[in-house]
Structure 1
């Protein structure tokens, strides 16, 4: 790829490959093409874009510093409740409320990270999960503030009854989150993240402060989750503590790992067909609740056995093989013509 080409420079700045840009263009026009312009399929597309954005932000932590934040859905829910409460109780503009939700989620992520990230592996993951359970418990019991299981009604961002503006907003948020995370991984800080994720002791002996870099990574990931939580609140227009349930985190984790841990783009790419498949299962097999969680587990097992790098590894290998074959045909054809 010619790096002096203006198009390639722009793609490099935006952290996109030509294939990624084509995929994004397809996602942009998809809701304008029947049958995807139907409202129920638009809702599926929004769910897919939302999970894709969460998977990118989740993978930023799980894929680079090897910390699985099992309280991720609770952090996202905190952002949603913050934006909703500020909008409904204090009359704050919802757009500002979404940013406020991200900031509060970042602050709580910093506090949780300062406590948990001194631990390693499963201990840090479990402690983050316990914090998530505590947040869900507070959202359930503080009925005077959150209305608990009754659900809190929230104003929507757009007056239109169409889901189309929400789809393009969520798609834009997904792209912004991807670019932010990708930019971070390209810096010296990103090298520190990778070093810590591969071998924390070796990184420490190289002069890297693991706690500092893990804390920065964890805080940013939580901020992005809180921002998305604000979108969730003002899109669905009702909030219940179920948004903070661990099963929501498992759904994001499954998408991130099936997409390819540490790739960032893999989870975003796989989220759309994956969520559509799960929605079809839910709508077709309503008498089997929880079947989607079983399918998550089976898919994760298959991925870990055959493609530990997920869809990103599969795509890279397939693309490389195809490219080599094409080059081989071209070279053989050139040699044949020379003869």
Structure 2
């Protein structure tokens, strides 16, 4: 029995290294079997979008939640990855799988260059610079018609030669898990400790000897590279892309998922995506008011639930744990009192 208990604790410690809990594992299992049980192409396609945007929200939170830089041009790096993979497939016949990786590399290199230019600036100034660069990338994509076909749209070959979506579902499912585990491993390392220190107090981090600019650029580059890979997937999933993929509205959507999920938690953005994206789909009549709804949600979260869904989750389980602890204490106290009375009788 003790060996089994030690083995269980060892297994739990191993899972926590990758940011996984029993609840998280149950959630992943449910997502893994869902399309096999509910064989509906519309719902499967909706879940693909939810997982993709959830993964983007996690990567966005990696920067916003740990080094306090809101990348207002984040959708542009997503679009760069999409166009890189699409153009390599269309112009050079490169495999879409290699194209997705190339999209990540190119978006990461752009992030690296932009980081060198902007991340020496403080907070909001760096965020605004990312937005200005994103607007420039949008303009280039829209006007370089000979290469990108501009607003006419660029047709992209699919990943799978089938009309079914299940292959895309499991592809983005694996990509989402790898994104979360990869980010969590980094956060749990000494590099993540430096990120936290920068996010909490940048002057104290500098005073303790941390090269702030180096770690901010590292964080920013990783986040942009993830967006590029996911953009490559998006291009081959939808089959046609236009410059609107780089719109600021997409960045707002990703940012809202990150903040509603819980800033600085990584996994919160994914949970928010799985709840909000299907929810917005069933509110199609309010599609024109989507950004307004997102704005109201952001205000409500910042005022009433600053820790987002992750904070509510932690609060619920803390209260649950306290109730069990108090119950155990009452049982223990009752047992001690009964034992004391028995001793007095003797």
TM over 0.5: yes
Provide closer, same or farther for how the CA distance between residues 4 and 41 of structure 1 changes in structure 2, counting only shifts above 3 A. Answer: closer
Aligned 8 A contact 1:103 1:226 in 2: yes
User: How far apart in 2 are the matches of 1:253 and 1:290?
Assistant: 18
Bigger Rg, which one: 2
Aligned to 2:341: none
Deviation at 1:7, TM superposition (A): 2.4
Aligned to 1:83: 85
Aligned to 1:315: 313
* Match for residue 18 of structure 2 among 14, 18, 23: 14
User: How far apart in 2 are the matches of 1:186 and 1:3?
Assistant: 22
Aligned to 2:35: 31
User: How far apart in 2 are the matches of 1:79 and 1:102?
Assistant: 6
Deviation at 1:27, TM superposition (A): 1.1
1:290 match: secondary structure: helix
1:100 aligned onto 2:102: yes
Aligned length: 333
Deviation at 1:4, TM superposition (A): 7.0
1:248 match: secondary structure: helix
Aligned to 1:207: 209
Deviation at 1:2, TM superposition (A): 5.8
Deviation at 1:32, TM superposition (A): 2.3
* Match for residue 200 of structure 2 among 198, 201, 204: 198
Q: Which consecutive residues of structure 2, in runs of 5 or more, have no partner in the other structure?
A: 339-346
Deviation at 1:328, TM superposition (A): 1.6
Aligned 8 A contact 1:2 1:8 in 2: no
User: How far apart in 1 are the matches of 2:31 and 2:102?
Assistant: 29
User: How far apart in 2 are the matches of 1:73 and 1:2?
Assistant: 46
Q: Which consecutive residues of structure 1, in runs of 5 or more, have no partner in the other structure?
A: none
Structure 1 moving runs of 4+ over 6 Å? none
Aligned to 1:258: 260
TM-score between the two structures when normalised by the length of structure 2 = 0.93
1:218-277 deviation per Cα after TM superposition (whole angstroms, max 9, x unaligned): 000000000000000011111111100000000000000000000001111121111111
Aligned 8 A contact 2:101 2:229 in 1: yes
* Match for residue 64 of structure 1 among 60, 63, 66: 66
Deviation at 1:30, TM superposition (A): 1.7
User: How far apart in 1 are the matches of 2:141 and 2:7?
Assistant: 51
Deviation at 1:333, TM superposition (A): 2.9
1:92 match: secondary structure: coil
User: How far apart in 1 are the matches of 2:16 and 2:260?
Assistant: 25
Deviates more, 1:14-23 or 1:259-268: 14-23
Deviation at 1:45, TM superposition (A): 0.3
Deviates more, 1:255-264 or 1:12-21: 12-21
